Amino acid sequence: MHLLVCGGTGCRASASDAIVGKLQKELDEKNLQDEVQVVMTGCFGFCEKGPIVKVLPDNTFYVQVTPDNAKEIIEEHVIKGRKVEHLLYKDPTTKKEISDSKHMGFYKKQLRIALRNCGVINPENIDEAIARDAYSALAKVLGEMTPEQAIQEMIDSGLRGRGGGGFPTGLKWKIALSNKADQKYVVCNADEGDPGAFMDRSILEGDPHSVIEAMAINGYCIGATKGLVYIRAEYPLAIERLKTAIKQAREYGLLGKNILGTGFDFDIELRYGAGAFVCGEETALIHSMEGERGEPTFKPPFPAESGYLGKPTNVNNVETYANIPVIYLKGANWFNKIGTDKSKGTKVFALAGKINNVGLIEVPMGTTLREVIYEIGGGIKDGKKFKAVQTGGPSGGCLTEKHLDTPIDYDNLIASGSMMGSGGMIVMDEDDCMVSIARFYLEFTVEESCGKCSPCRIGNKRLHEQLDVICKGKGTKDDLEKLKNLSLVIKDTSLCGLGQTSPNPVLSTLDNFYHEYIEHVHDKKCRAGVCKDLMKYLIDNEHCVGCTACARVCPVGAIAGERKGPHTIDQTICIKCGACMEKCKFNAISVQ
C-alpha cells in the first residue's frame, strides 16, 4: 500500500511536509512501515483543495488534509479499511463524496487531443504511431469519403485555425477546393515565433505522423498532391524527427504514389525558415518558401487563390493539423461537443512565467484562466500575488484579475483586449512592471518588423522610444495620450497582421494598468522596482554603523562617509546596481 502526499508548492505551504512526518510516525508506531510507504509526489494540480493525500491501490483521494488527520487515515483507512468520509472530496453540484479520483471533474480539466500521442509513443517509430491509430483517418477519408464530404465533416466539426487567427479550417479548405488549377499546394506552418511558445515544436517532436497524415487528408480534400512544411531551422530536433517520420511513411507507401491503392498521390517536402517572426504570416511565409524576401503582400489575393508559385495554396498550423485525424476518426459530432459555442475542441497552451507548473497543457475551449493558472498551473510562484497573464504573444495583450473567470475562447479573448494567438501564456506577478513588459514586446516587434510598410517600420520604433522615455522617468502625461494615438494609427494602417496587432501590448496595458503608467510619468515611481532609472538607493542614518562595506563594494565610488559615521549615496553617480544593499549587514540600505 502507498500513501501519496502532494509535494507541490501549494500543498507544501499548507504543511504537507508535516503530514508526511506524521503519517510516517504513525506507521512506525504501529509497525507498519514495511507494508505501507509514504511518498511525496509532484503537484496534483488541485491546489485549491490541498494538501492532497492519495491512497494506492484503491485510488482514494483525500483533500484538505491536516497533520492531525494522519492518525485517522492510518487507523481507519490503512488498518480497518474504512474510508475517512469527511476528508473525501465533495462534488460541488451533487454534494456527494467522491472517493475515486478518476471520477472527479477536476481530472477532466485537461483533455489531450492534439497532444494525444506526445509522451506516449516513440516519435521515431512509425509502428507505435500506427498501433495508436495513425493513418487510419487517412484510410477512412480516402476509402469512404469524397473531398466534398470530407470538407463538410471539417466544417461541421467547427475546428478553427490554431495559429492564432481562428479562421474556420473547413471553410479555408472549401475555398481552396473551389479554385481550379493544374497544381495546388498544402503548407504546414511550423514557423512558431511567439516568445515563450513551444506547442508546435513539441507536437512535431512528439507526434510527427499526426501532422503528416493530416496534410495528406488536406491534400486529398483540396486536390493537392504536394505538401510543404515550413519550419524554422532553429528547431533541429523537430526537423530530424519529421524527416525520419516522412521517410518511414514513404517506406510504408503512406506517402508517395497511389496511397492505399486509391490512386491518390501525395508527398511532403521541408522548407527551412531563418526564424523571422513575420514569416508566420501566410503571404510572407509563401514568399520565403519561394526564395524571396520574407515580406507579406496585400490580401486579396488570398493564398487559396494564388499562393506558392502562384498556385492555390492552403496554409494551416501544426496544432490545427494535429487535431484533424481525431476529428475524422471520432466524427465531427464528437469534436463539436467539446468547447464553447463558437470555439470547438481544445487548445494547447505553453504555460510560462511566474507560475509553479511551467509546461504544456491542453484544455477544452471555455476553460477559465483561473482554472488554468491555479488548478493546472499550480498557482503563482513563491506565493506572490497574481498581476496579469499575457496571451497571444507580441500580438496579444495582458489580462488581469477581472478577466480570470472569463472562459477562454477566440471571441472572449478578443473582447477582453487580447487574443488567442498561437497559445503562449505568460503569467506575471507583482514584481513585473507592466510598462516594461509593453516595452519588451515592442522591442521584439521593432526587431521583427520586415520594414515594408511605414506604419509598422517607423511607428513601432517611435512607440518603443516613447515607452523607453517613460521607463527612464522622463515621460509626461501627454506622452500617454500620444502613445495611444500612435498605437491606433499603426493598428489601422499597417499592411499585415504583425503591424495590425503589434500595439496591442501597449493598448491593453494602458487599459488595464493606467495607474502604473501614471506612477511612472507623474510620481516617477516604478512599483515593481524594475525600471532602474526610477529607483533610488538610500542609506538610513539610524541603522548605518559606518562599517564602510558599502563604500568599498560600490563599483563607481558613489558612496561617501567617515569610518564609524553615517554614509550617503550620491544619486548622480549611482548606477543602481544594488551591490551596496546586498553587502550591508545592518539592513541600512533600502530601495525606493
Partner 1 sequence: MVQVKSLADLQNLKASLQNKLELREKGEKADSLVQIKVAMATCGIASGAKKIMEYFMNELEKRSIGAVVTQTGCMGYCYAEPTVEVKLPNQEPVVFGYVDLKKVDEIIEKYIKNGELVNGIIPVNYETIDDNNK
Q: Find the binding residues for partner 1 in span 321-360 (CB under 8 A).
A: 326, 330, 334, 337-338, 356-360
SS3 453: coil
Asked if residues 377 and 420 have their Cβ atoms less than 8 Å apart, the reply is no
Q: For the segment 484-523, give every residue that binds partner 1 (CB under 8 A).
A: none
The nearer residue to partner 1, 9 or 69, going by C-beta atoms, is 9
Backbone dihedral region of 119: left (phi > 0), alpha (psi from -120 to 50 degrees) or beta? left
Pick the piece of the chain touching partner 1 (CB under 8 A) from 2-10, 151-159, 282-290, 399-407.
Answer: 2-10
Contacting residue, 33, 37, 225, 297, with partner 1 by CB under 8 A: 37
Contacting residue, 10, 45, 50, 455, with partner 1 by CB under 8 A: 45
The nearer residue to partner 1, 140 or 484, going by C-beta atoms, is 140
Q: How far apart are CB 48 and partner 1 at their closest, in Å?
A: 13
- Cα separation, 324 vs 46, whole angstroms: 31
Pick the piece of the chain touching partner 1 (CB under 8 A) from 168-176, 253-261, 311-319, 386-394.
Answer: 253-261
Q: What are the φ/ψ torsions at residue 107 (nearest 5 degrees)?
A: -70, -15
CA torsion sign for 521, 525, 528, 531 is positive
Q: Alpha helix locations (H) across 363-408?
A: 369-370
484, 482, 505, 501: which is closest to 493 by C-alpha? 501
- Cα separation, 354 vs 389, whole angstroms: 10
Q: Is 51 in the site for partner 1 (CB under 8 A)?
A: no
Pick the piece of the chain touching partner 1 (CB under 8 A) from 21-29, 37-45, 453-461, 485-493.
Answer: 37-45
209, 312, 212: which is closest to 266 by C-alpha? 212
List C-alpha distances in Å: 132 to 128, 207, 241, 364. 6, 11, 18, 22
The nearer residue to partner 1, 37 or 225, going by C-beta atoms, is 37
The nearer residue to partner 1, 26 or 205, going by C-beta atoms, is 205
Q: For the segment 139-178, give every residue that binds partner 1 (CB under 8 A).
A: 139, 142-143
Q: Is 372 in the site for partner 1 (CB under 8 A)?
A: no
Pick the piece of the chain touching partner 1 (CB under 8 A) from 38-46, 178-186, 314-322, 498-506.
Answer: 38-46
Q: How far apart are CB 314 and partner 1 at their closest, in Å?
A: 25
The nearer residue to partner 1, 204 or 399, going by C-beta atoms, is 204
Asked if residues 362 and 348 have their Cβ atoms less than 8 Å apart, the reply is yes
Read off the C-alpha cell for 469: 522615455
Q: Residues 438-477: x/- map of binding to partner 1 (CB under 8 A)?
A: ----------------------------------------
As a residue count, the chain comes to 592
Contacting residue, 28, 29, 56, 522, with partner 1 by CB under 8 A: 56
Q: Is 201 in the site for partner 1 (CB under 8 A)?
A: yes
Pick the piece of the chain touching partner 1 (CB under 8 A) from 33-41, 275-283, 538-546, 558-566.
Answer: 33-41
CA torsion sign for 578, 579, 585, 586 is negative
Residue that is written with C-alpha cell 485517522 in the block: 72
Asked if residues 394 and 505 have their Cβ atoms less than 8 Å apart, the reply is yes
- β-strand pairing of 226-232 with 264-273: parallel
Q: Residues 114-143: x/- map of binding to partner 1 (CB under 8 A)?
A: -xxxxxxxxxxx-xx-xx-x-xx--x--xx
Q: How far apart are CB 363 and partner 1 at their closest, in Å?
A: 9
Q: How far apart are CB 452 and partner 1 at their closest, in Å?
A: 32
Q: For the segment 525-564, give every residue that binds partner 1 (CB under 8 A).
A: none
Backbone dihedral region of 267: left (phi > 0), alpha (psi from -120 to 50 degrees) or beta? beta
Q: Is 291 in the site for partner 1 (CB under 8 A)?
A: no
Contacting residue, 62, 198, 321, 537, with partner 1 by CB under 8 A: 198
Q: Alpha helix locations (H) across 451-548?
A: 454, 460-471, 477-493, 497-501, 504-512, 514-518
Pick the piece of the chain touching partner 1 (CB under 8 A) from 202-210, 222-230, 299-307, 567-575.
Answer: 202-210
Q: How far apart are CB 329 and partner 1 at their closest, in Å?
A: 9
Rounded CA Rg of the chain:
28
Asked if residues 395 and 504 have their Cβ atoms less than 8 Å apart, the reply is yes
Q: For the segment 78-117, give every residue that binds partner 1 (CB under 8 A).
A: 106-113, 115-117
104, 99, 97, 3: which is closest to 46 by C-alpha? 104
Q: Residues 303-322: x/- map of binding to partner 1 (CB under 8 A)?
A: --------------------
- Cα separation, 263 vs 143, whole angstroms: 11
Q: For the segment 206-245, give every residue that binds partner 1 (CB under 8 A).
A: 206-207, 235, 237-238
Q: How far apart are CB 418 and partner 1 at their closest, in Å?
A: 23
The nearer residue to partner 1, 22 or 172, going by C-beta atoms, is 22
Q: Is 13 in the site for partner 1 (CB under 8 A)?
A: no
Q: Is 361 in the site for partner 1 (CB under 8 A)?
A: yes
- Cα separation, 462 vs 446, whole angstroms: 9
The nearer residue to partner 1, 120 or 549, going by C-beta atoms, is 120
List C-alpha distances in Å: 420 to 227, 255, 343, 349, 412. 27, 33, 11, 10, 9
Q: Is 17 in the site for partner 1 (CB under 8 A)?
A: no
Contacting residue, 58, 66, 233, 260, with partner 1 by CB under 8 A: 260
The nearer residue to partner 1, 203 or 437, going by C-beta atoms, is 203
377, 381, 378: which is closest to 363 by C-alpha? 377
Judged by CB under 8 A, the number of residues near partner 1 is: 73
